[in-house]
Amino acid sequence: MSSMSQTTSGPRYWRSLDDLAQTPEFQEMVGREFPGEIWESIPPATRRQFLKVMGASIALAGLTACRWPAEEIVPFAHRPKGSDPGVPKQYATVMELGGAAQGLLVTSYDGRPIKVEGNPNHPDSLGAASAFAQAAILGIYDPDRSRSLVHRQQGQEFAKTWADFKAFAAEHFATYQKRRGRGLAVLAEPSSSPTLARLRARLLEAFPEAVWAEHTPCANTSEPEGVARLFGRRLRPVLHLDRARVVACFAADPIYDHPSALRHARGYAQARRPEAGEQMMRLYAAEPTYSLTGGIADERVAVAPSALPALILALVRELTSVHGLSLDGVDAATLSRAVPPAGSERFVRLLARDLAANRGRALLVAGAGAAAEVHVLVQALNAALGCVGTTVDYIADPDAESPAPESIAGLTRSLRAGQVSTLIILGGNPVYDAPADLGLAKLLDGVPTSIHLSGYKDETSRRCTWHVPAAHFLEAWGDARSWDGTLSVAQPLIEPLYDGRSAIELVATILGDDLANGYDLVRATMRGMAPAGAGFEQLWHDSLNNGVVAETASEPVRTSPRPAAVGAAIAAAAAPPAQAGQTGLELQLVPDRKVYDGRFANSGWLQELPDPITKVTWDNALLLSVADAGRLGVKTDDLVRVEAAGAHVELPAYVLPGQADGVATVSLGYGREAAGVVGDSVGANTYRLRTTAAPHVVMGARLTPTGRQHKLACTQDHHAIDAVGFEARVHRLPELVRETTLDSYLADPEVIQHEAHHAPLFSLWKERTYEGDQWGMAIDLNSCIGCNACVIACQAENNIPVVGREQVINGREMQWIRVDRYFRGEPETASMSFQPVPCMQCEDAPCEEVCPVAATQHTADGLNAMVYNRCVGTRYCSNNCPYKVRRFNFFNYHEHVSGVQKMMYNPDVTVRSRGVMEKCTYCIQRIEEARITAKKEGRPIRNGEIVTACQQTCPSQAIVFGNLNDSESEVAKLRENNRAYAMLAELNVRPRTHYLARLRNPGGPAAAENKETA
């Protein structure tokens, strides 16, 4: 495998760019156009939030007149086999998040990773990649990453080398060998890595009395527990949404917040295609606050977490009593008392009806927020409805046989008891994200020796005696299993930039292993698992090549629910909810959709990514229902003091339609103190409100308005809206974002075409005909789940800068593709619509005619090209763009260059300078690449040969790109689809991007008339 050799000589190769940036001429020239001192005169806040990233190209791009400084060409001394300088290569690897692997293909350019894509061979990726995975590219080049080992003694820090650490470890752990490991404890993140499992076993072998604890703040602990209760063994449900006709989610977000989310999203889309001819899936969601799943649900009801058990009971009752479903262990008496929570009667009735009618094709899912008994009942119903084997499989938990790890609570107990003298923390950031009531930070100070392996010198590192830099997952060898057990090998794309080590390497070092490098460790594990004898090298090679180890997916296990468990669950559910402190609200603590549990806090891309639901960037907000906000007398942006679990936090309110009354939702992961330049003190740290007892929902939270304000940086401002604007929006929405119900569509397939009527269109001149390849795009609103993956993919592909909170507030965000989110219906019961909006590539583009310097004009293949180096920045094109998809560099957003971060840039895309307009051009660089290849091979460009970044990563394949003149291409077919429409067609700008209307599939006549609103 060439990747190793490539990366070894890699770092030297790209020094050239940095050198260039260091040459005096270059500096002087940069000085001439973008003087550094000026930033002194800009408000510090603004300055601070500018991200310091750019490629050397930009300054050159700005100056055409003078002869630019001498540029050095630094060739390899020994060019690796089969590598051509300047030719991107792709390598398969995996990213582990929340204990499950996500398969990736990483593009490497001259030995440096520049782009992350999904791995089509991987069951949990299927070619898609989440926003988190995409953003890993920014993460690896983060200049704030820890660069050296630190040993802390008497509050003083000493920089150390790995050699020092090896020496220390050798003699330090020797002492524990004698004591059979008493006093030694390890706190790791849950991992699916067989190698880590193997090393863990060996460690516990070498140190029998050592404690191995695991902690991660955002794991779904209640599901495994519920499943275990029901089936009496540790099982893992594998969902198949594509096979389901009815899916019901209870405070669950399977298409976004789940290790298999990408696969689920794909399944959802497949089950929703009216063209498929099968009965279209109907999606039910009962949840306290809007999730993405709720956003696309056909039937949604907002219920407080405490009301979920009652809802389930009511459902069980309806199913058993009305639809005659037999569920063993049901205690009819208890059940008869079950009443659905106020407002959910219709929901329960319809859901029960559909479930009963779709036995074997139904699927119920509960989320982390739901209590264990809810999970028990949900899985019991899945079983009772005969869905096991069709829509849900149960596989053995891959590490079921190894002893269950200690919980962090347990670990703290022994810490408090002073039983731990050496604590090794493998990744994670417990000081920041452990439940507040454990007081881990204090306890940690009491531990004589604490070693923290971490990518950053974070909150935890600062309290440990040793900090050892961790390698980024793109820098290290490793292995991990996907949700369904499929094994993958993670291979590094680049040598550790900051001399970091992976967890397995550290453990091996502690064990005094002589082969302490990841490559050997992983190979050793694989050897152990490989079918005995020959062909290992072949297996190894194939595994690296395909990104998965063949036939390692776990087999479904036959199992049956235990009636006793069901009975117990019903009893538990029937018990009146623990309304501790009836006075307050229920405070729901959820992982953030952008920074997750806080680990991505230093990623500018993710911080600036608008939350799919609230469109808030650079903050976590306190989500309140319209009624509650009214009761409290707060509006969006008002700072509210939240008191719960004896702690308090101040958060800006955000009034969210469709939020359950009596529930306030906040996301975790903000308010970091040691995240880095980007992540520090962004938002508020809500972990303070979290306790071991109530990790997800805190009862009786007290909210008091402070009277102060904190402006939320929303990319879509729906709140400070006056009557005029509101009315206009109500009238426009049905034409802009078209949707109808499945029934009316089946009744009249042309219904979408009739939704908008406008005067006949004609031109004052003879319209030109477009021959040859003509690019176009179709976006299926029926598949889009609003997950933002496309936004980050585009940002990574096209070198789009991050501008910071202030600039977003000023309306200057830069993402080329945005996902518009609209609400319809009464604020209480509002439904949601997503609409991704890239450049429409209008044939009669209004932006082109107004540009005085012809910097934007049409290409032969019908693209609306944007020539950055010609643009003088009048911003006239943006003014005249009806879709407002053009973005302007108001400042030099690439001002301060960190040598490392330049490496991240896609060399095939110009880095735009200050004062230049930019926008989506259907990934023109990919089109050009394909065009040239095709020409050289003397053939036309193949159907599907070109894939845009957004299309490539879309989990639900909502985005389709291709040649409109090729009747075989999918996009051409979709254009003919009777759901297809052009937004603002009445302007006669002839957009090349068309939308396919969304079909809602309500369970019954709508409760409220569908009136559009925000």
For another protein, give the closer residue by CB, 826 or 844.
844
* Structural tokens at position 547: 């990104």
Q: Which of 153, 769 has the CB closer to another protein?
A: 769
The β-bridge partners of 105 are 92, 117
Q: Look-up: residue for tokens 């369904």?
A: 484
Nearest to 788, CA basis, from 606, 972, 562: 606
Distance CA 558, CA 561 (A): 10
- Which of residues 85 and 410 has its CB atom nearest to another protein in the complex? 85
Nearer to another protein, 449 or 880 (CB): 880
- Find the shortest distance in angstroms from Cβ 860 to another protein: 6
In the complex, the smallest distance separating the C-beta of residue 761 from another protein, rounded to whole angstroms, is: 13
Tell me the closest approach of the beta carbon of residue 541 to another protein, in angstroms.
Answer: 24
Q: Measured from the CB of residue 711, what is the shortest distance to another protein in angstroms?
A: 12
What is the number of other CB atoms lying within 10 angstroms of the CB of residue 749?
A: 13
Instruction: For the CB of residue 985, give the shortest distance to another protein in the complex, in Å.
Output: 12
CB 877 within 8 A of CB 851: yes
Which of 102, 910 has the CB closer to another protein? 910
SS3 432: helix
Residue written as token pair 């962090």: 408
Query: Which H or E run includes 421?
Result: none
Q: What minimum distance in Å lies between the beta carbon of 79 and another protein? A: 4
- In the numeric block, the tokens 């849950």 are attached to 190
Using left for φ > 0, alpha for ψ between -120 and 50, and beta otherwise, residue 465 falls in: alpha
The DSSP result for 737-780, as a single string, is S-EEEHHHHHH-TTGGGGS---PPP--SSPPPP--S--EEEEEE
> Which residue reads 């037999």 in tokens?
326
- The distance of closest approach from Cβ of residue 804 to another protein in the complex, given in angstroms and rounded to an integer, is 11
CA distance 293 to 286: 10
Q: Tell me 689's DSSP state.
A: G
Smallest separation, CB 859 to another protein (Å): 4
Residue 557 or 860: the one with the smaller Cβ distance to another protein is 860
345 or 735: whose CB is closer to another protein?
A: 735
Instruction: Pick the closer one to another protein by CB: 332 or 860.
Output: 860
Nearer to another protein, 192 or 798 (CB): 798
The first and second tokens of residue 828, run together, are 């209480």
Residue 45 or 747 with smaller CB distance to another protein: 45
The number of C-alpha atoms within 13 Å of 519 and in the hemisphere containing its C-beta is 7
Based on CB atoms, which residue is closest to another protein, 157 or 928? 928
Alpha-carbon torsion, ordered 692, 588, 124, 822, to 10 deg: -170
Question: What is the amino acid identity at position 523?
Answer: R
Judged by CB, which is closer to another protein: 670, or 883? 883
Q: Taking the mean position of all CA atoms in its chain, how far away is CA 776? A: 27
Min CB(661)–another protein separation in Å: 27
Nearest approach, Cβ of residue 471 and another protein (Å): 23
At a CB cut-off of 8 Å and minimum separation 6, what does 403 contact? none
Nearer Cβ to another protein (141/888): 888
Long-range pairs of 33-40 with CB within 8 A, sequence gap ≥ 24: 33/59, 33/62, 33/63, 33/913, 34/59, 34/62, 34/892, 34/895, 34/914, 36/895, 36/896, 39/895
Q: Quick one: tokens of 373? A: 């008994």
Could you tell me the CA-to-CA distances from 511 to 288, 453, 461, 898 in Å, in that order? 47, 15, 22, 37
Q: Which residues contact 1005 (CB under 8 A, 6 or more apart)?
A: none
Q: Are 245 and 271 in contact (CB under 8 A)?
A: yes
**What is the SS3 string spanning 971-995?**
HHHHHHCCCEECCCHHHCCCCCEEE
Q: Are strands 362-366 and 392-396 parallel, antiparallel or unpaired?
A: unpaired
CB of 207 to another protein, least distance (A): 42
Question: Closest distance between another protein and the C-beta of residue 787, in Å?
Answer: 17
Quick check: helix, strand or coil at residue 422?
A: strand
- Tell the smallest beta-carbon distance from residue 793 to another protein (Å): 17
* Tokens describing residue 67: 């002869």
The CB-of-137 to another protein minimum distance in angstroms stands at: 19
Q: Which residue has the tokens 């960037």?
A: 617
Q: How far is the CB of 811 from another protein (least distance, A)?
A: 4
d(CA 798, CA 836): 17
Q: Is 321 exposed, middle or buried (0-12, 13-18, 19+ CB in 10 A)?
A: middle
Q: Give the Cα separation of 601 and 671 in Å (integer).
A: 9
Nearer of residues 678 and 863 to another protein, judged by Cβ: 863
Instruction: Give the nearer residue to another protein in terms of CB position, either 160 or 729.
Output: 729
CB atoms closer than 10 angstroms to residue 46: 16
Kindly tell me which of 33 and 970 has the beta carbon lying closer to another protein.
33
Of the pair 626, 756, the CB lying nearest another protein is at: 756
Least separation, in Å, of the C-beta of 769 and another protein? 10
Q: Which residues contact 932 (CB under 8 A, 6 or more apart)?
A: none
Nearest approach, Cβ of residue 919 and another protein (Å): 11
Closest approach, Cβ 721 to another protein, in A, equals 8
> Can you tell me which residue has the tokens 């939240």?
642
CA distance 900 to 497: 9
How far CA 938 is from CA of 40, 352, 594, 771, 926, in Å, comes to: 56, 60, 45, 19, 18
Of the pair 389, 846, the CB lying nearest another protein is at 846
